[in-house]
């Protein structure tokens, strides 16, 4: 994965935009079969209007892109978008239409889900560098190690955590990739854990509804179950046994080159997380969840000061989804 990211200065009243690395352009031997395709020319004066009016698009074909102009991707407060980098400071945002899976530029293909994934991972790396990125559970990872990782995620500032949550929810609504569901589960659990820590150690900073916390945790399990179902469906299509005994890491960049690793990685990681969460519920009910954390984990989590309410619409984000159990259940039903 390319590691360089660029922060684009947005217009006034927009949150900072995260731009993806230079896209990895892929030219498959056989172009993907699509039923919904929109073709636009770069010089088309009605480019934005036609794109905005598109009801649903799987493949967006952009013809006539001049040499030296690069297609870049970013995420802002209203969603994921691309823009044409011609060296000027004028950034025109073109938001992804509903259902977009790939962009074809002068006959070369760009995987939109990879762009979404890179943007989210780059954002996490920038604002939570100590997390080490989204964690690949292995065969020796225990519940204590997983909760310690979730604690590191909870250190991220509230507005950044909310932005990640909202962006991931948009990705789940538009993509069948199980990796976004796994990432949402981790982010929501980080908010839950931080709320529990604040309530126990700084009660004046956070209220706590045990029933709501447990409902949220069970909703995360449903989200992970849907990730497993999608992985199992895809594995059956490529005639690959759904084996989960052998460790498989998060492998979100390998769909084209190694679909077996892509789907087995998501299946293994979702299953292991789901198993841990089924242990988390009784730990929450018994008030022993924080016993799994080291003193340093707790101190770091509390060093950020006052936290926002644990379950709320993401502040400052237009049409931000509400972080509650019912919304997560609906999210798990997205196809």
Could you tell me where the beta strands, DSSP code E, fall in 145-253? none
The rounded Cα 331 to chain-centroid distance in angstroms is: 13
Both tokens of 1, joined, read 């994965």
pLDDT band at 136 (very low <50, low <70, confident <90, very high): very high
User: Which residue shows structure tokens 């984990």?
Assistant: 297
pLDDT band at 36 (very low <50, low <70, confident <90, very high): confident
- In angstroms, rounded to a whole number, what is the distance separating the alpha carbons of residues 80 and 119? 9
Query: What does the pLDDT average to over 113-128?
Result: 90
pLDDT band at 287 (very low <50, low <70, confident <90, very high): confident
- Residue 183: the pLDDT is 95
pLDDT band at 322 (very low <50, low <70, confident <90, very high): low
209 against 141, higher pLDDT: 141
- Residue 273: the pLDDT is 95
- Residue 128: the pLDDT is 82
**What are the residues whose beta carbons fall under 8 Å from the beta carbon of 152, sequence distance 6 or more?**
128, 130, 131, 132, 297, 300
User: Over 80: is that where the pLDDT of 252 sits?
Assistant: no
* pTM of this structure: 0.80
Both tokens of 11, joined, read 């217009």
pLDDT in tens, 42-80: 999 999 999 988 878 999 999 999 999 999 999 998 899
**Summary mean pLDDT of the chain:** 79
- Residue 334: the pLDDT is 67
**What are the residues whose beta carbons fall under 8 Å from the beta carbon of 69, sequence distance 6 or more?**
42, 84, 85, 86
Could you tell me where the beta strands, DSSP code E, fall in the chain? 7-8, 17-19, 37-41, 59-63, 70-76, 79-85, 94-95, 102-105, 108-111
Query: What does the pLDDT average to over 25-29?
Result: 44
Domain ranges of the chain: 7-112, 128-332
CB atoms within 10 A of CB 14: 14
Phi, psi of 99 (to 5 degrees): 80, 5
- Residue 65: the pLDDT is 93
- Residue 304: the pLDDT is 52
pLDDT in tens, 237-250: 999 998 888 899 99
- Residue 99: the pLDDT is 87
């Amino acid at each position: 994965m390319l590691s360089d990211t660029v922060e684009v200065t947005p217009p006034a009243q927009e949150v900072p935009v995260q731009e993806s690395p230079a896209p990895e352009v892929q030219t498959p031997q056989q172009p993907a079969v699509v039923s919904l395709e929109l073709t636009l020319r770069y010089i088309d004066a009605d480019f934005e209007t036609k794109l905005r009016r598109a009801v649903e698009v799987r493949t967006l074909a952009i013809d006539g892109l001049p040499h030296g102009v690069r297609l870049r991707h970013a995420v802002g407060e209203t969603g994921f978008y691309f823009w044409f980098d011609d060296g000027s400071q004028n950034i025109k945002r073109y938001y992804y239409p509903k259902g977009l899976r790939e962009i074809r530029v002068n006959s070369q293909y760009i995987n939109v889900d990879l762009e979404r994934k890179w943007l989210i991972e780059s954002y996490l790396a920038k604002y939570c560098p100590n997390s080490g990125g989204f964690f690949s559970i292995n065969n020796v990872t225990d519940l204590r190690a997983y909760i310690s990782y979730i604690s590191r995620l909870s250190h991220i500032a509230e507005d950044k955590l909310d932005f990640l949550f909202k962006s991931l929810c948009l990705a789940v609504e538009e993509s069948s990739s199980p990796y976004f569901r796994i990432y949402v589960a981790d982010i929501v659990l980080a908010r839950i854990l931080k709320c529990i820590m604040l309530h126990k150690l700084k009660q004046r900073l956070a209220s706590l509804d045990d029933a709501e916390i447990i409902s949220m945790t069970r909703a995360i399990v449903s989200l992970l179950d849907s990730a497993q179902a999608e992985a199992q469906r895809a594995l059956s299509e490529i005639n690959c046994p759904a084996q989960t005994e052998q460790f498989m890491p998060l492998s979100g960049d390998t769909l084209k080159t190694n679909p077996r690793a892509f789907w087995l990685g998501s299946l293994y990681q979702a299953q292991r997380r789901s198993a841990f969460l089924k242990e988390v519920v009784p730990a929450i009910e018994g008030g022993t969840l924080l016993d799994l954390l080291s003193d340093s984990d707790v101190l770091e989590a509390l060093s950020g000061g006052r936290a926002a309410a644990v379950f709320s619409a993401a502040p400052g984000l237009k049409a931000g989804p509400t972080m509650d159990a019912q919304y997560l259940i609906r999210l798990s039903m997205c196809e």
